[in-house]
Amino acid sequence: MMNTLANHGFLPQDGRNITRDTLVEGLRDALNFNSSLSSLMFDMGVVANPEPNATYFTLRADAYFGSNHIFNETIFNETKAYWTSETLTPAMLANSKIARQINSKAYNPNYKFTSQTEQFSLGEVAAPVIAFGNTQSGEVNRTLVEYFFENERLPIDLGWKKSSKAITLSDILRVTQMISNATNLITSSSSKNRVRNEL
């Protein structure tokens, strides 16, 4: 999302030294995010800056694998494998998130994923729903999301317009909670799957 906003000129195009004020203004102008939501996103992003008491962050990739500023079609195709209909649901987004984490843990010897990272990750997964979808149902049009990732552009050419209603912190918390709930791999005892009797 941040790279796309940089491509549109709402954030610094080099993705460096993003301050709270810069982020709040960029997210307001691009997506109609209110300042509380933008401030939360800043707080989640600034933890990635290793400098003590940092007041900015820089968009960056997992250093082990290189830049995340360049679209990676292979990774995106792996992600899309879990998107099984034209309307993406929280469950589909959660499945693609879990798959990416497993892949990173399996192949990155420096893998680190803290509870803070989880909150940021949930926010990243929720971002397309917040920007382009329905914050009540947690659903979003797959075509808008694909266009967004493949072109690193807002899907204006497809008729998308930013929300006329300010996107709030409660909107993002609702959607991130839906996705978080969907990442749970434990099923209820009323699951349709039969439990195998041990011999």
Please give the C-alpha separations between residue 108 and each of 35, 82, 101, 112, in angstroms, as whole numbers.
35, 22, 10, 9
Length of the chain: 199
Listed by start position, the domains of the chain span 2-180
Under the banding of pLDDT at 50, 70 and 90, the label for residue 69 is: low
**Other CB atoms closer than 10 Å to residue 61's CB: what's the count?**
12
Fold assignment, 2-180: Chloroperoxidase (1.10.489)
Using alpha carbons only, give the angle 143, 149, 154 rounded to the nearest 5 degrees.
75
- Is pLDDT above 50 for 191? yes
Dig out the tokens for 86 from the structure.
Answer: 């034209």
Q: Checking DSSP bridges between strand 18-19 and strand 140-141, what pairing results, if any?
A: unpaired
Under the banding of pLDDT at 50, 70 and 90, the label for residue 175 is: very high
Under the banding of pLDDT at 50, 70 and 90, the label for residue 146 is: very high
- Is pLDDT above 60 for 57? yes
- Is pLDDT above 50 for 62? no
CA distance 155 to 105: 32
